[in-house]
């Protein structure tokens, strides 16, 4: 996330998705609603979304 200057990489978004899935498994039978927003850095957005969705689908 160079534009937001948070220094997050694809692996960080994957880990955040895993954490959300773990919480969902523990609290609401694994149900997750994913609402993506932002998209300010078009150079990295597509890959980040693909990684997020793949992790949601256990791929």
Tens digits of per-residue pLDDT, 22-55? 999 999 999 999 998 877 778 888 999 999 999 9
Q: How confident is the model at residue 2 (pLDDT cuts 50, 70, 90)?
A: low
Q: Which residue has the higher pLDDT, 4 or 6?
A: 6
Tally of structural domains, the chain: 1
29 CB-near residues (< 8 Å, 6+ apart)? none
**Whole-prediction pTM value?**
0.82
**Structural domain contains residue 43:** yes
Within a domain: residue 45? yes
Please state the three-class secondary structure of the chain as a single string: CCCCCCCCCHHHHHHHHHHHHHHHHHHCCCCCCCCCCCCCCHHHHHHHHHHHHHHHCCC
Q: Is residue 4 part of a domain?
A: no
Tell me which residue range forms the domain holding 37: 10-56
């Amino acid at each position: 996330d160079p534009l937001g200057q948070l220094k997050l990489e694809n692996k960080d978004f994957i880990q955040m998705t895993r954490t959300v899935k773990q919480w969902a498994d523990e609290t609401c039978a694994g149900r997750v609603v994913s609402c993506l927003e932002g998209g300010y850095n078009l150079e990295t957005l597509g890959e980040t979304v693909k990684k997020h969705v793949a992790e949601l689908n256990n791929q």
